[in-house]
Structure 1
C-alpha cells in the first residue's frame, strides 16, 4: 500500500501527542482533528488529481480536474470513517455513460474507494468502559463490512482513554488483551 509508512508515522505522532497530555483533548472530535492534521501534513505531497465532469467544467479549476489530499474526515459519504485515505489506484474519472447507468447525480469526489480508514473512540473520565468497547465493536464491524467490498484495505479501530488510572482499572476489569500506551514504542507502532 502506497501510504502505509506515512499512515504509521501519522499514528505514532498522534499517539505521542495524546500521551504528552490527554487533557488537551476534551472530545473525540478533538482527537479526530489532530489525527487529521498530522496525517494531512504527512501526506501533503501525495495530492490526487480527480477528474470531474458531471457539472459544467468551467466550475472546476482546470478542465474538470481538481487536486486534493488523499486524507479525509468522515469519508466516504456512504461509510463516514473518522479518518480515511483515498485509494489513488482505484479512481474512475467521469464517464457520462457510466454515470447514467448507475444513476449517479454528482461527481464521485465524495464516494471514492479508500485503502485505509481509522475509527476513534474516546473514553473520557468517568465513562463506562463497556459502552466504549461496544462502540469499538461496532466500528470493527463497519470496517470489516467495508473491507469485503474493496481490493486492498486496512481498517484500524482505536480506543483512547483519557485517565491513566481509569485505564488501569479498565484493564483489571477484563480488558486484559489491551496494549498499554506506554508499551508502544514511540519510534514505530507495532502492527
Structure 2
C-alpha cells in the first residue's frame, strides 16, 4: 500500500470528521485560513514592503473554538467523534434497555446484527477497529434485556477507560434509571411514561 494511504494509529491522523473533535476541526480550519492569509500577504508584498506578521490563532480564537465545540450544533455539519460516540452509545444503551426479557431467536439475531454491523461500519476508522476487536473478544450477550444491558455497559466502560473518561456503574437499577426510566427531573413537564 502506498505510504500516502497508510493510517497511523494516532487518532489525529484521521482526516474524516467522524474521527475528530469539533475543536480540532475548528483549529485546523483556523490554521489553514492563517496559512492562506499569510501566503496571500506574501504574494502581494511585491511593492517592497515586508509582509505582515504571521497570523497566529489567538488565545481568544482557541477559546472560541472550545466554546463552539462544546455548544450544541444543529448547523448541518457532520457529527464529530464525540457527537457520533454519544449518539451511538445512546442507541446501544437505549436498545438494550428496551430489549425483551425473553427475546425470540429472530430478535437475538437482530441484536447481534446491530452490534456486529456497528463494529464493521462505524465511520471513525480507528474507533471501528477497536470496537470490532472488543466485540470479537467479548461478543454481545443477547440472551436477555439484563444481559445485553450489562454487556453494553461493560463495552462502554472499556472505551471510557481508554479515552480517560469516568466509568458508569454497571448495575441494572443504575442503567434503567439512565437509559429506560430516567430521573424524575426528566419528566418535570408531565411527560412521564411518554
Which structure shows the higher strand fraction? 1
Q: TM-score, normalising length from structure 2?
A: 0.28
Q: TM-score, normalising length from structure 1?
A: 0.28
Which protein has the larger Cα radius of gyration, Structure 1 or Structure 2?
2
